[in-house]
Amino acid sequence: MKTSFESDYNNGAHPEVICHLLETNGKQSQSYGFDEWSEQARQKIRTACQCPDADIFFLVGGTQANATVIDGMLLSYEGVIAVQTGHINVHESGAVEASGHKVITLPSHGGKMAADDLEAWLKAFHADPTLEHMVIPGMVYITFPTELGSVYSAKEIEAILAVCRRYELKLFIDGARLGYGLASSECDFDLPWLAQHCDVFYIGGTKVGALCGEAVVFPRRNAPRHFMNIVKRHGALLAKSRLAGVQFDALFTNGLYFSIAKHAIDKAMQMRQIFADAGIPLRDSSTNQQFVELTDAQMKHILEDVLFETWEPLDDHRTLCRFVTSWATTDRDLKALKEALKAFR
Amino acid sequence: MKTSFESDYNNGAHPEVICHLLETNGKQSQSYGFDEWSEQARQKIRTACQCPDADIFFLVGGTQANATVIDGMLLSYEGVIAVQTGHINVHESGAVEASGHKVITLPSHGGKMAADDLEAWLKAFHADPTLEHMVIPGMVYITFPTELGSVYSAKEIEAILAVCRRYELKLFIDGARLGYGLASSECDFDLPWLAQHCDVFYIGGTKVGALCGEAVVFPRRNAPRHFMNIVKRHGALLAKSRLAGVQFDALFTNGLYFSIAKHAIDKAMQMRQIFADAGIPLRDSSTNQQFVELTDAQMKHILEDVLFETWEPLDDHRTLCRFVTSWATTDRDLKALKEALKAFR
Amino acid sequence: MKTSFESDYNNGAHPEVICHLLETNGKQSQSYGFDEWSEQARQKIRTACQCPDADIFFLVGGTQANATVIDGMLLSYEGVIAVQTGHINVHESGAVEASGHKVITLPSHGGKMAADDLEAWLKAFHADPTLEHMVIPGMVYITFPTELGSVYSAKEIEAILAVCRRYELKLFIDGARLGYGLASSECDFDLPWLAQHCDVFYIGGTKVGALCGEAVVFPRRNAPRHFMNIVKRHGALLAKSRLAGVQFDALFTNGLYFSIAKHAIDKAMQMRQIFADAGIPLRDSSTNQQFVELTDAQMKHILEDVLFETWEPLDDHRTLCRFVTSWATTDRDLKALKEALKAFR
Amino acid sequence: MKTSFESDYNNGAHPEVICHLLETNGKQSQSYGFDEWSEQARQKIRTACQCPDADIFFLVGGTQANATVIDGMLLSYEGVIAVQTGHINVHESGAVEASGHKVITLPSHGGKMAADDLEAWLKAFHADPTLEHMVIPGMVYITFPTELGSVYSAKEIEAILAVCRRYELKLFIDGARLGYGLASSECDFDLPWLAQHCDVFYIGGTKVGALCGEAVVFPRRNAPRHFMNIVKRHGALLAKSRLAGVQFDALFTNGLYFSIAKHAIDKAMQMRQIFADAGIPLRDSSTNQQFVELTDAQMKHILEDVLFETWEPLDDHRTLCRFVTSWATTDRDLKALKEALKAFR
């Protein structure tokens, strides 16, 4: 079987997660979010975030989390501001528009939003005499880390948050790969800091060791009223909520969530070295997603032994390709990659 | 710990389901529905339904399945016809209306729709000169078994389907508890027959032994075009689709799905006898949900040892209560119930 | 040409309305609601309502007014409570559901909602342990006068409003035919009283002398924030807003709105006498819509000279029919009806 | 009173339009689109378009026309492609997203879409392996003339249509100012040609001499099934449909629609000369909207006598400003402008 770096969701759950599902399986529990493991997991996440009052909801996946949070926090006529490359603008099949909200786009700087762009746009918006004919912005959406593997600095997030406060916009951080961002060597803040610098965020489980599940966190008991109904209305409420609760209980026991992320980052950095050694151009990324420029010949050769995703064509002969690590990446996987690259050194 | 008959979703997964999750966990797979177990499960379901051409999609839960199928098969301005007590009318937090579709209601006959009511309504609708000001019906939604534990006969479904064909309406059967309906002694048809008598249905996993998951079946390769996008747009597409695939693979191996259902029905019938012996009035139900009429004093007494759900007040002193069996119901559970009822004989 | 009692919207505008359109046509004005006549009309309506602080918006038609007000005042997951026969439940082609809101129905008492029904429903709703799976009610919608020509008494509205206040629901009064309700001899309140006994209502223009236009009134400066954007988003903002403004300016000059209504009511009462004299069964109605029971033979005979609408079949031989008066109904029209009924006396 | 070039909707209706409203006011008619003038107007428009089979609907305004046509022709999960500056992307308050459809944007070339951009985007879209996670394009939306006053050539529209056919996309032409585009000296096709080169378009009335109203034309009897219900659901169906019908009847009698447009274009060209004579930089535009670059001092000076709209800031001292002509623009208006510009020569 070929080694795969295609994604961080083509393996099963981390062993400790799957074992916890097994060991708790025999017990009866309440449903719809009221099971004991969900409650336990919520407590552990509150502790990890240093947010004793946080409202926490476990949703099944990322699209749901994005669509539900955005719809839940916006008024019907409000839109959400994101960068062009933002997941909600590109890869959610219109789930945000499905509940009536426009995604307003700003330029992407390597996947990141610039506070200056945001402020400039808002200034122009409020100066526009036709404001009554436009979509009112209600929220700013950023991803941490971004879809391109980049991470915001504390200063950059502070700047965005300051603009949000000035213009009364909510700040939502999509943390589908949150662990990998926090584990990046470039990241100059921690989870509690992040929780203090936004209105809502989620802790991605699916891509960080769980089978499914995202923990939506409203850090200051600031969940919208009737948020459970909003979740249900979006089809995002599990009858057997234990499924998500048990997994997050495992992920937030003994720092598993963070050690999974650290492992993946370590492997990603080793992978960078392997590519560099082979003379293959790499984009900057300190997280678990690595983007390299491959010629057609290189792609063909590597694919004989190692799987990865093509990201976008660069020109007629070269393609940007994505290699992703996860909890499941082993030294053997990296060795297979090294082997496959031998020819190019 | 008290014995609970509160629901068929307050236990974990059936042991064979959880074990299959464990034993497959180490393998890598494709994502978003293309994993090998999903493909295997689809094949097994096609065989079980005798529908070699069926389009099959695994969604996470019932609300999603209902909202996604209805939205996917209706045009934007069409509505769906259901009985007053239908799940989509009562307990989906407006998930159907969320995508713009009106739920048009007919009277409920013990949870069931009458073909005559349907035809009469459609006749009146088409005779109405103000048709251009009304919601155009596009689909009929029924549940099998119903929310009240009743089951349609083959003749009743045939009659409804005939009306649907006459008026060009799609027929959608919500099978959140499908197994229990098919296992009922009252049921005079099987899964292949059902698959031939509707346009789409789903095989409920969550309430029949899985941790989560519903298998939406379009029996004759008749899924709407781009249905994957529709599923994604509804937040119903699992990145690690193996989670659903593996579970359905287990459920449709060696007839597990049907034996789980049979077990629960056997226990439910034993439960009926226990209530009857205690002189407690029982509603008709040949499925795994049993509805009994309890006085306040009875409720209080039973709740000391056995948990259940209150359904609706009958008068100032009596309440309709629901007792549910599942794969996990044991003889010991029934014994505990018998004990608790001893006082009333 | 046959005399028509088919509706109150099959004539042009009242002469004073059309003349005001003509006499103002040559003047330039601001657009999108800021023209001078709209401002004047708003002032006149504020005076007529004794609501100096009212927010007033002119929308083009009734469906728009209903859909826009309901969507504008509800949160995305909230529903609106109406009686079964309520216009938004029956004849808006799903315009309310189109923006995601469920219409929750209560029984109709001759077109009216009973405060007791409302309270009982709300009590049951809040006692329901599955509240998180249901649509949260946010608003009560009633029509004045109702679709069946009936009018609420002050006491009945007070009772409904009291329930709304107790359960924090908004009260919205659809006044598509408001003038006719206020002019009814049964009506025991006036426009200022009505304005004080709801959260929002609209003054129907289309059916009371205008070519188009409904004046939505938020009596206590309580329009939702950014309501103009909500109106625009619903396609309900006229570029040449003068069209609505000029018409309402005419309607609220010298009490024209009220005299149009009075005229129609006078004619309707004379019509009742004509039917009674002919021995034709009449439903109770003190407004401009009259409902009579006709046999097939009677219908056929009358239709030779006089047009009307069939409402609903009563049995195999008899039909409930609607005869409507308006500003344009003349003594000659009534005479024609009398002639047509001669045969039945 | 100051001379205003602010817009083509700050005057009343063209005298022949308002007179036709007056002269027809006394007659009774059917409602909801079935009045005799609507039928007459439809026939005249069919003749003008040389489309004997066209389905034609009169809607009240442009936002409604855009939102209703797009929602009516797209499946729920489909999006519409427009240029960044397209009206539906900028100035509809999210009316398109309100019914769940994403506006997918391409670069604007002076307000126009380039067929090459469109094809390149579609090629990339269909090559993307993540297509199932994206919004499926269903329609191309262009404006004729554009929001910036530019007009497509026949060749440009043919090229766009060819791409649409190749990729099975519908082509919708927003003709809010259609008359002005056809009357432009740059325009190398006529109305029948346009009708043959799209799937749906509308003939703008509001900005070309009516008080309100847009005529949506499906040239080949290709209106979506139940389009009346779709119109009603969007709140776009007038009870007194004569209001729109009578106006379009007047506009399409004796070529009034075209002579109004020609008049406005003539005046716009004279206006260009006046600006040119004053040495004020003008953007290219052969239609009734003219865009000029004014310094702050110039703006201040001109505004003393002549009104116009600011469009967008160019730098700290200069602003792009819009001057618009219409049926109502007179030689005296132009003289006033000339006077105001005297100082700058």
CATH architecture of the domain C16-255 equals 3-Layer(aba) Sandwich (3.40)
Give the whole-angstrom CA distance, residue B176 versus residue B189: 17
Three-state secondary structure readout of D252-266:
CCCCHHHHHHHHHHH
**Domain A3-9+257-344 carries which CATH code?**
3.90.1150.10
pLDDT value of position A158: 98
Mutate one of C212, C214, C231, C306 to test the D interface: name it (highest D CB count within 10 A).
C212
Number of separate helices (H) and strands (E) present in chain A = 14, 12
**The two structure tokens encoding residue C122:** 């709300």
**Domain A16-254 carries which CATH code?**
3.40.640.10
Cis, bond preceding B145 (omega within 30 deg of 0): yes
Q: Are D87 and C86 in contact (CB under 8 A)?
A: no
Among all chains, which residue has been given the structure tokens 């494709």? B30
D-contacting chains (≥3 CB pairs under 8 Å)? A, B, C
pLDDT tens per residue across span B42-73: 999 999 999 999 999 999 999 999 999 999 99
Mutate one of A3, A6, A28 to test the B interface: name it (highest B CB count within 10 A).
A28
Give the whole-angstrom CA distance, residue A20 versus residue A133: 53
Task: With a cut of 90, say whether residue A267 has pLDDT above it.
Answer: yes
pLDDT value of position C198: 98
Residue in chain D lying closest to B238 (CA): D133
pLDDT value of position B344: 80
Return the closest-CA partner of residue A160 out of A107, A127, A112.
A112
Give the whole-angstrom CA distance, residue C107 versus residue B236: 36
Among all chains, which residue has been given the structure tokens 């399945």? B65
Q: Do C103 and B102 touch (CB under 8 A)?
A: yes
Output DSSP code: residue C135: P
Q: Do C212 and D13 touch (CB under 8 A)?
A: no
pLDDT value of position B259: 98
**The two structure tokens encoding residue C188:** 């025991």
Amino acid identity, position B163: V
Rounded (10°) CA dihedral B332, B334, B339, B342: -160
Tell me if chain B has a CB within 8 Å of the CB of D130.
no
Phi-psi region of D255 (alpha: psi -120 to 50; beta: other; left: phi over 0): left
Q: What is the DSSP string of B240-307?
A: TTHHHHHHHHHHTSTTHHHHHHHHHHHHHHHHHHHHHHTT--B----SSEEEEEEEHHHHHHHHTTEE
**The two structure tokens encoding residue D112:** 């126009």
Residue in chain C lying closest to A138 (CA): C226
**The two structure tokens encoding residue B337:** 């119930």
Q: Are A90 and A106 in contact (CB under 8 A)?
A: no
Tell me if chain B has a CB within 8 Å of the CB of A25.
yes
Output DSSP code: residue D305: T
Angle subtended at Cα D200 by Cα D197 and Cα D204, rounded to the nearest 5 degrees: 105
**Domain D15-255 carries which CATH code?**
3.40.640.10
Tell me if chain B has a CB within 8 Å of the CB of D98.
no
**The two structure tokens encoding residue C149:** 């020509």
Q: Are B57 and B33 in contact (CB under 8 A)?
A: yes
Q: Do B232 and D132 touch (CB under 8 A)?
A: yes
C-contacting chains (≥3 CB pairs under 8 Å)? A, B, D
Q: Do D229 and B132 touch (CB under 8 A)?
A: yes
CA end-to-end distance (rounded Å), chain B: 25
What's the full length of chain D, in residues? Answer: 345
Q: Are A314 and A295 in contact (CB under 8 A)?
A: no
Q: Are A237 and A32 in contact (CB under 8 A)?
A: yes
Q: Are C322 and C294 in contact (CB under 8 A)?
A: no
**The two structure tokens encoding residue D76:** 């729920």
Task: With a cut of 90, say whether residue A156 has pLDDT above it.
Answer: yes
345 residues of chain D, pLDDT tens digit each: 789 999 999 999 999 999 999 999 999 999 999 999 999 999 999 999 999 999 999 999 999 999 999 999 999 999 999 999 999 999 999 999 999 999 999 999 999 999 999 999 999 999 988 889 999 999 999 999 999 999 999 999 999 999 999 999 999 999 999 999 999 999 999 999 999 999 999 999 999 999 999 999 999 999 999 999 999 999 999 999 999 999 999 999 999 999 999 999 999 999 999 999 999 999 999 999 999 999 999 999 999 999 999 998 999 899 999 999 999 999 999 999 999 999 886
Residue A18's Cβ-count burial label (10 Å; 0-12, 13-18, 19+) is buried
Q: What is the DSSP string of D230-286?
A: HHHHTT---TTTHHHHHHHHHHTSTTHHHHHHHHHHHHHHHHHHHHHHTT--B----
CB atoms within 10 A of CB C52: 9
Amino acid identity, position D321: C
Tell me if chain A has a CB within 8 Å of the CB of D220.
no
The CB-based long-range contact list for C334-339 (8 Å cut-off, 24+ gap) reads C334/C267, C334/C270, C334/C271, C334/C274, C336/C3, C336/C305, C336/C306, C337/C3, C337/C5, C337/C271, C337/C274, C337/C302, C337/C306, C338/C274, C339/C305
Tell me if chain B has a CB within 8 Å of the CB of C322.
no
Q: Are C140 and C81 in contact (CB under 8 A)?
A: yes
What's the full length of chain C, in residues? Answer: 345
Low-confidence ranges of chain B (pLDDT < 70): 345
Give the whole-angstrom CA distance, residue C288 versus residue C266: 9
Give the whole-angstrom CA distance, residue D344 versus residue A228: 65
Of A71, A131, A133, the CB nearest to C76: A71
Task: With a cut of 80, say whether residue A1 has pLDDT above it.
Answer: no
Q: Do C94 and B103 touch (CB under 8 A)?
A: no
Return the closest-CA partner of residue A82 out of A63, A54, A102.
A102
Q: What is the DSSP string of A196-260?
A: HTSSEEEEE-TTTT-SS-EEEEETTS-PPTTHHHHHHHTT---TTTHHHHHHHHHHTSTTHHHHH
Average pLDDT, rounded, for chain A = 96
pLDDT value of position A344: 80
Q: Given CATH 3.40.640.10, say whether it is the number of domain B15-254.
A: yes
pLDDT value of position C344: 80
Strand segments (E) across chain C: 3-4, 55-59, 78-83, 103-106, 136-143, 170-174, 200-204, 214-218, 289-295, 306-307, 309-313, 318-324
Give the whole-angstrom CA distance, residue A135 versus residue C229: 7
The kind and range of the H/E element at B42 are helix B36-49
Q: Are A317 and A295 in contact (CB under 8 A)?
A: yes
Residue B129's Cβ-count burial label (10 Å; 0-12, 13-18, 19+) is exposed
Contacts of C232 in chain D (CB under 8 A): 63, 92-93, 95
pLDDT value of position D344: 80
Could you tell me where the DSSP H helices lie in chain D?
A: 15-24, 36-49, 62-73, 87-90, 95-98, 115-127, 154-166, 178-183, 191-196, 227-233, 242-251, 256-277, 296-303, 331-341
Q: Are B92 and A231 in contact (CB under 8 A)?
A: no
Per-residue confidence band for A164, with pLDDT thresholds at 50, 70 and 90: very high
pLDDT value of position B201: 98
Tell me if chain B has a CB within 8 Å of the CB of A212.
yes
Give the whole-angstrom CA distance, residue C250 versus residue C24: 11
Tell me if chain D has a CB within 8 Å of the CB of B130.
no
Q: Do D101 and A103 touch (CB under 8 A)?
A: no
CB-facing half-sphere around the CA of C182: CA atoms within 13 A: 23
Amino acid identity, position C35: D
Return the closest-CA partner of residue C235 out of D66, B308, A84, A278.
D66
Q: Do A77 and C230 touch (CB under 8 A)?
A: yes
The kind and range of the H/E element at D345 are none
* Interface ipTM: 0.96
Residue A104 Cα, gap to closest chain D Cα (Å): 10
pLDDT tens per residue across span A85-142: 999 999 999 999 999 999 999 999 999 999 999 999 999 999 988 889 999 999 999 9
Where are the domains positioned within chain B?
Answer: 3-9+257-344, 15-254
Q: How far is CA A245 from CA A24, A56, A259, B236, D225, in A?
A: 11, 11, 19, 19, 47
Tell me if chain B has a CB within 8 Å of the CB of D102.
no
345 residues of chain C, pLDDT tens digit each: 789 999 999 999 999 999 999 999 999 999 999 999 999 999 999 999 999 999 999 999 999 999 999 999 999 999 999 999 999 999 999 999 999 999 999 999 999 999 999 999 999 999 988 889 999 999 999 999 999 999 999 999 999 999 999 999 999 999 999 999 999 999 999 999 999 999 999 999 999 999 999 999 999 999 999 999 999 999 999 999 999 999 999 999 999 999 999 999 999 999 999 999 999 999 999 999 999 999 999 999 999 999 999 999 999 899 999 999 999 999 999 999 999 999 886
Contacts of A12 in chain B (CB under 8 A): 21, 24-27, 240, 242
| Collapsed DSSP state (helix, strand, coil) of residue D154 | helix
Q: What is the DSSP string of B73-120?
A: HS-TTEEEEEETT-HHHHSSTTHHHHTT--EEEE--BTTBPPHHHHHH
Q: How far is CA D94 from CA A107, A191, A298, D122, D212, in A?
A: 20, 35, 46, 24, 21
Which residues share a beta bridge with A172? A141, A200
Task: With a cut of 90, say whether residue A20 has pLDDT above it.
Answer: yes
Return the closest-CA partner of residue A130 out of C177, C275, D102, C237.
C237
Which residues share a beta bridge with B290? B323
Residue A232 Cα, gap to closest chain C Cα (Å): 6
Backbone angles phi, psi at B139, to 5 degrees: -155, 150
Contacts of D95 in chain C (CB under 8 A): 232-235
Residue D29 Cα, gap to closest chain B Cα (Å): 17
